[in-house]
Structure 1
Amino acid sequence: MKKLLISFGVLALGLIGLGQQTVHADDSWSAPVATLGSSLTADQKSGTLSTLNDAAGTSNATELTVNGDTLVKYLNPSGSSFTSSSGVWSSALVQKTSNGGINVKIVPYNGQNNITTITADQYRNAALTAGVSNANLYITSAVRIDGSGALAGVYAAFANNGQTLNASQINAAQQEVNTLSGITQANQGKDGYTDKQLNNAVAGMKSDMASQSNNGNKMLDSAQIGKIVDSNLTQNNINTIINNNQRTQIINLLTTIQKSGALDSNSFKDQANKLANSIQNSAKNIFDKLSTSLNTQENRNFLQKIWDSIVSFFNSIVSWVQSLFN
């Protein structure tokens, strides 16, 4: 029974394989890419570039301008309504690495975090869905803005380095940003809910889907996806907070991600696991408390009932076999 409880705790937190990794630059990129919003003034552009370079510890980033046409190309297919004249202020620095998973840091501009909507973990989950792997992403803005321009800039940076991301996956990633940010805004301030728990749950769902679909070789139906969703929401202790409508939104999102072909990559599961582990490491106070709450007497009693049922089942088989010789 003790081993069963320990296994349950490990499953709940997804902490298998934790450990720090050394992150090396990817030689296929000659330099990091700074994607700068076209609406920045000269002073804001200079300040943005300096802010991003300082955060990344680099000084050799190449510059790429993100404008309304970039937003139209990458974001409109998923339902946005940008035009060529749309303004862009949020900016990113993309530093490709050879390992270490996807890491995001939202960097204050002059001491102010001006990204109002998309959280760091939402950027990371969206990047994973879009097909990004092993990259450090630094995000900032000189003015208060939702942060969509920076995400479009990330996609453009990969294309600029000969690694054009799949359009269907980008569309799914944009649906993911909209879905997760909407759920977080709806549950803002609720006791027992954090954006990290939601994004950790979604990363776990992606990993489970990759496993159960054999890296996309088998399509999962909505019932199978629903079980994966419920399991990960429970493991992150937000199953009673996420309402039925939000649960349906998550199932629809994962169905879209599956159809996009994101699961087909052999690295998808590994990147999803690294993302989940990193989220847990970045908020150990939250997930340590979660571990304690899951290891309650109620859960122990539940597990005991399962164990008793297993023992009873095998005892009945033994009794039946013995009866054959009586």
Structure 2
Amino acid sequence: MQFKKLLLTFTTALIGAVSFAVNQTQTTQAASDEWSEPVVTLGTSLTASQKQGTLDTLTASLNGADYSTITVDGSTLVKYLNPSGATFTTNSGVWSSAMVQKTSAGSGINVKILSYNGQNNITTITANQYKNAAVTAGVSDANIYVTSATPIDGSGALAGVYAAFAQNGDSLSQSQVTAAQNEMSTLSDITQANKDKDGYSDAQLNNAVAEAKKEMAAKGDNVTNNQITTIVNNQIENNNLTNIITNNQKTAIINMLIKIRDSGALNSSSFKDQAAKVADNIQNNAKDIFNKVNTEENRNFIQKIGIAIGNFFKSLFETVQSWF
């Protein structure tokens, strides 16, 4: 009798476990199906011919595969960008467009700005700035393609990215989106101010910021303002920007990262990983720049001393070993 009760209990538990597993699989599959195809975001101000040209440009890599579309208008800009201080209205025009393609977990964020009829019409926001903003906003593991039929800053495309995630059930935190927009504005202003200076590149700045985010995430959301300041100083030095970034610009970067911390972005389990992958992506796409940054001549004085001390003790150890 006792055996029968035990067998019945075991069978009931097993059926329950199988049922739970099936339901979880179905739920996961349903969520995957909702984001199973790329989403193209089209600016509402595009003419019919521009719309077709934009679609052709953004979807060329799909080789005829299915995709869905959404329209980005002034209301989209107001919803996602105005909380950060932008002044768009519901009547604002939108030309820049994007295609968002979700990728496998751990693949990171990749951004490519595509020329429209042979011309890059995204005048202000760089691919690296899009990447960093996407990490802060909470976007993860996606290929993002951006283009515009007319010269424009590119804000509409980023608002479209946020809208694409929301449409597919991955609503992003507004506080993080606001921090991301502040970040983009800060980095864009610094790049515009330094773009003609020898030894400066947008890649170095954005790599410094991505690495700083990674360090902040390792410390957690209780990372202090002083710790953030130290991180920024180190990353500016590591990226050979010490003699280029002004004190005011450094302060702007520190304040920007404090806003990112306060947005709750560091609470995300994937934030550190996504930031690290963006840094790797930036370095891989600008190897010539970072090979120069990492030359012996550009190593800081402390690093040189550390290497010299290490070599001294290594030589001393080898000498002592030779005595025995």
Q: Same fold, TM exceeding 0.5?
A: yes
Residue correspondence of structure 1 range 32-43 to structure 2 within 5 A: 32-43=38-49
Aligned-partner SS, 1:289: helix
Q: Normalising to structure 1: TM-score of the pair?
A: 0.82
Structure 2 match to 1:78? 84
Q: In the alignment, is the contact (CA less than 8 A) between 2:116 and 2:149 conserved in 1? A: yes
Residue correspondence of structure 1 range 1-326 to structure 2 within 5 A: 28-99=34-105, 100-213=107-220, 216=221, 219-293=222-296, 298=301, 301-303=304-306
Q: Distance in 2 between matches of 1:294 and 1:206?
A: 27
Aligned-partner SS, 2:185: helix
Rate the CA distance shift 1:39–1:298 in 2: closer, same or farther, 3 A.
same
Give 1:290 deviation, angstroms.
1.2
Q: In the alignment, is the contact (CA less than 8 A) between 1:91 and 1:141 conserved in 2? A: yes
Rate the CA distance shift 1:69–1:295 in 2: closer, same or farther, 3 A.
closer
Give 1:150 deviation, angstroms.
0.2
Q: In the alignment, is the contact (CA less than 8 A) between 1:56 and 1:138 conserved in 2? A: no
**Where in structure 1 do 4 or more consecutive aligned residues deviate above 3 Å?**
55-59, 293-301, 304-308
Q: In the alignment, is the contact (CA less than 8 A) between 2:240 and 2:298 conserved in 1? A: no
User: RMSD value over aligned CA atoms?
Assistant: 2.1
**What's the CA shift string for 1:16-73, capped at 9, x where partnerless?**
xxxxxxxxxx655121100000000000001101100004545311010000000000
Q: In the alignment, is the contact (CA less than 8 A) between 1:193 and 1:241 conserved in 2? A: yes
Q: Distance in 2 between matches of 1:301 and 1:107?
A: 42
Bigger radius of gyration, 1 or 2? 2
Q: In the alignment, is the contact (CA less than 8 A) between 2:237 and 2:300 conserved in 1? A: no
Residue type of the alignment partner of 2:195:
Q
Q: Normalising to structure 2: TM-score of the pair?
A: 0.83
Q: Distance in 1 between matches of 2:300 and 2:185?
A: 38
Give 1:76 deviation, angstroms.
0.5
Q: In the alignment, is the contact (CA less than 8 A) between 1:95 and 1:135 conserved in 2? A: yes
Q: Distance in 2 between matches of 1:114 and 1:244?
A: 32
Gaps of 5+ in 1: 1-25, 312-326
Q: In the alignment, is the contact (CA less than 8 A) between 2:103 and 2:142 conserved in 1? A: yes
Rate the CA distance shift 1:87–1:96 in 2: closer, same or farther, 3 A.
same
**What's the CA shift string for 1:305-325, capped at 9, x where partnerless?**
7769x99xxxxxxxxxxxxxx
Residue type of the alignment partner of 1:253:
M
Q: Distance in 1 between matches of 2:225 and 2:35?
A: 39
Gaps of 5+ in 2: 1-31, 315-324
Q: In the alignment, is the contact (CA less than 8 A) between 1:55 and 1:107 conserved in 2? A: no
Rate the CA distance shift 1:242–1:295 in 2: closer, same or farther, 3 A.
closer
Q: Distance in 2 between matches of 1:93 and 1:297?
A: 41
Rate the CA distance shift 1:297–1:223 in 2: closer, same or farther, 3 A.
closer
**What's the CA shift string for 1:105-155, capped at 9, x where partnerless?**
000000100000000000000000000000000000000000000000000
Q: In the alignment, is the contact (CA less than 8 A) between 1:102 and 1:135 conserved in 2? A: yes
Q: Distance in 2 between matches of 1:305 and 1:223?
A: 30
Give 1:168 deviation, angstroms.
0.1
Aligned-partner SS, 2:153: coil
Q: Distance in 1 between matches of 2:301 and 2:87?
A: 49
Rate the CA distance shift 1:166–1:107 in 2: closer, same or farther, 3 A.
same
| Structure with more relative contact order (C-alpha pairs < 8 Å, separation 6 or more) | 1
Rate the CA distance shift 1:242–1:63 in 2: closer, same or farther, 3 A.
same
